[in-house]
Structure 1
Amino acid sequence: MKILLTGCSGQVGYELERSLQGLGQVVAVDRSRMDLADLDQVRAVIRAVRPGLIVNPAAYTAVDKAESEAALAYRINAEAPAVMAGEAKKLGAALVHYSTDYVFPGDDPAPRVETDATAPVNVYGASKLAGEQAIAAAGVPHLIFRTSWVYGMRGKNFLLTMLKLARERDELRIVADQHGAPTWSRTIADATALTLARAGSPASEAGAGWWAQHSGVYHLSSQGQTTWFDFTRAIIEEAGIECRLQPITSADYPVPARRPQYSVLSSQRLMEQFCQLPHWRDALGLCLR
């Protein structure tokens, strides 16, 4: 099976290029070869590669900037996945796509399950939800993995920012009233590969049956939950950095995009059907080691 992987220079895409090896011929492209803002280029690349599976971690992820660049966020997060789904259906291929905890409003302090009502509170979340809906409407075999608070040792993310600031400053003020589950990019990639190893090609009889049975939305985030404040405390403890932390509220740190106060995802459905997921603290320790 030929696998087209988008966004291979991003933190999840980089890990996926490694994890997907052995499942098929991986054709990995970054924005220079397939810019999701250019829908004609998206179509052209898919038609040239003719994959049996498209894996799409590429996305517009600048949450605050999306408030002033809504059209671009929707083009990359909603319109491009819609094009991928349409092209995949024509080829008899399947699509793996990644979404976010930000599709939920975060006003209920209980882990969200896949069937809970969505109601994004910012443009980024709304654009990702529109992408989910476009894929489902296309009728293509698909897996949509919603994840949360993604970090890794490359790219721009909370972990790398906190490591840098903690080494530069004596004290950091960190939001302590938003709850979620930090998820290592390698956890996402490895869980994806373990799932796809069971799936097979949608072009085969067995594979087509698997995709027909399992297509849909799954939550894929680390187990447990924490706050940005406690996540930061764990980061500096694991890294052996001395830095004072001061807890603050969301109101003390105003940003353009509103954040969900509670966006913990229940990954029980994925773990029952595909594979186990680690506790966030265990994954963080492994990542830093």
Structure 2
Amino acid sequence: MRPSARPALLVLGSNGQLGFELRRSLACLGEVVALDRAACDITKHEECLAVLARYRPDVVVNAAAYTGVGQAEQDPDAALLANGTAPGWLAAATRDLGGLFVHFSTDFVFDGRHTQPYTEEDVPMPLSVYGKTKLEGERAVLAAGGSAIVLRTAWLAGVHGSNFLKTILARAKAGERLQVVADQVGTPTSAALVADVTAHIVARYWLAAGVRPGFPTGVYHLTAGGEASWHAYACEICRFAQARGMALRLGPGDVGACAARDFDGGVERPAYSVLDTTRLRETFGVHLPQWEQGVHWLLEQLISREQTHA
């Protein structure tokens, strides 16, 4: 197929907060088939093969995953199947079709003992079942060969679905007591940003159709810029929402700080999981805004929705 032709794109996990944004961001590139778990359960091998055989996509973007960090500790087999095994057979099936496979991983593959951002060259040492299964998925995708991109991201929040930002906002509106972890640091990242960068990478791949064997595949870190604790993140949510006139019963000064050990839920999480995005920025020529911009943008979308439905 000529590079000028429009690719056929398949998005798996389309009902999650990232899948929702991918449906939007990829639509300008070609025909998008977006499937939720009911239409394609990635943990069912034969079902996955049948779906790929039916649609024969040029690009498969896998946003499906087992995301319950606490639940994974109780059901490691289910987490491993969804996060570790399934991505491998999806990548292999995409390889056999001669297509590009895009997969998403997490900052939880690191142990959090660094004091500076993790690069792709740093050795992963996950602490939790969730992190371990996501690392297995990365390895399975890369071992399948073919054209594959693994994008590690972190602390996602989007307009669609449940997330930390929406939880803080709802509790601040209700005037509920807020105690937020202050000794875990990462980078709040908009699902829309991850989806837009993914679309940029896919477009670069498609335009380079004549030289795909040299396309820069592999692992890349993709988050917004900067870093914050969960507590600082919560304070910024309340501050900006209040400044934009949202009716909050709690402001940033009402957000209490606590230690991670008070809310660990039996799962050890990395204390510092900021990701260095230099490789992604230099390879694909993308600009990644500071995390606060993503928070502000998302809050503006939520405010606009409230006004529309008022």
Deviation of 1:121 after TM superposition, in Å, equals 0.2
Deviation of 1:273 after TM superposition, in Å, equals 1.6
| Residue number among 26, 38, 48 corresponding to 2:44 in the alignment | 38
Distance 2:46 2:78 in 1: 15
Distance 2:275 2:297 in 1: 22
Distance 1:37 1:239 in 2: 40
RMSD of Structure 2 on Structure 1 (CA):
1.3
Deviations 1:154-191 (A, max 9, x none): 21211111111222234311100000000000000011
Q: Is the 8 A contact 1:142 1:216 kept in 2?
A: yes
Map of 1:100 onto structure 2: 106
Structure 2 residues not aligned, in runs of 5+: 1-6, 243-247, 301-310
2:202 aligned with 1:189, yes or no? no
Greater radius of gyration (CA): 2
2:130 aligned with 1:128, yes or no? no
Map of 2:307 onto structure 1: none
TM-score, length-scaled by structure 2: 0.89
Q: Is the 8 A contact 2:174 2:249 kept in 1?
A: no
Map of 2:298 onto structure 1: 287
Map of 1:239 onto structure 2: 241
Matched letter for residue 229 of structure 1: H
Distance 1:91 1:242 in 2: 54
Q: Is the 8 A contact 2:205 2:215 kept in 1?
A: no
SS in structure 1 of the partner of residue 69 of structure 2: coil
Map of 2:245 onto structure 1: none
Q: Is the 8 A contact 2:175 2:249 kept in 1?
A: no
Is the alpha carbon distance of 1:90 and 1:14 closer, same or farther for their aligned partners in structure 2, counting shifts above 3 Å? same
2:210 aligned with 1:205, yes or no? yes
Matched letter for residue 234 of structure 2: T
Is the alpha carbon distance of 1:75 and 1:64 closer, same or farther for their aligned partners in structure 2, counting shifts above 3 Å? same
SS in structure 1 of the partner of residue 219 of structure 2: strand
TM-score, length-scaled by structure 1: 0.95
SS in structure 2 of the partner of residue 214 of structure 1: coil
Report how many aligned residue pairs link the two structures. 285
SS in structure 2 of the partner of residue 51 of structure 1: coil
Structure-to-structure mapping, 1:24-63, within 5 angstroms: 24-63=30-69
Deviation of 1:232 after TM superposition, in Å, equals 0.3
Matched letter for residue 104 of structure 1: F
Deviation of 1:22 after TM superposition, in Å, equals 2.2
Of stretches 36-45 and 107-116 in structure 1, the one that deviates more from structure 2 is 36-45
Deviations 1:243-263 (A, max 9, x none): 211100011223121110000
Map of 1:278 onto structure 2: 289
Q: Is the 8 A contact 1:8 1:29 kept in 2?
A: yes
